[in-house]
Amino acid sequence: MSATIIVYTTPHCGYCRMAKQLLTSRGWTFREVDVADDPAARATLVATTGRKTVPQIFIGHQPIGGFEELKALDDSGALARLVAQTRDPQPDSGSTRHE
Ligand SMILES: N[C@@H](CCC(=O)N[C@@H](CS)C(=O)NCC(=O)O)C(=O)O
């Protein structure tokens, strides 16, 4: 299963471009949602994240912020862990399946 990464963007947004480049450089696919012409989606995004800028990036269902937050997480190594957790649900190590 691949990680669900969603990047909310607008066209001509430099931070959006940098965020997408970072994710692509790591080999992670993502879904891009352009909210430029969708005021309702943008309002929902602001309500959900508390932030008015784009990009807004979600790893799984977790809003992590914009490009600068993405970069900080990447620099610390936390981003790769977050993506891996989202991508690979931990097996139920305490149980054995009998079929
Ligand atoms: N610190 C933010 C800065 C993002 C930012 O300033 N984005 C610009 C577009 S590139 C923005 O949303 N400006 C306000 C607007 O478009 O309404 C980040 O790293 O993502």
What number is the average pLDDT over the span 74-79? 98
Atom of ligand 1 nearest to the CA of 14: 10
- Ligand 1 touching residue 13 (CB < 6 A): yes
- On the question of pLDDT at 52 being above 80, the answer is yes
Percent of the chain at pLDDT > 90 equals 81
Q: Please, what are the domains in the chain?
A: 5-87 (3.40.30.10)
Q: What is the mean pLDDT of residues 51-79?
A: 97
CA distance 71 to 79: 9
pLDDT of residue 87: 77
The yes-or-no verdict on residue 12 having pLDDT over 90 is yes
| Residue 57 beta carbon below 6 angstroms from any ligand 1 atom | no
> Burial level of 2, CB count in 10 A (0-12/13-18/19+)?
exposed
Average pLDDT, integer, range 78-90: 84
pLDDT the model gives residue 86: 87
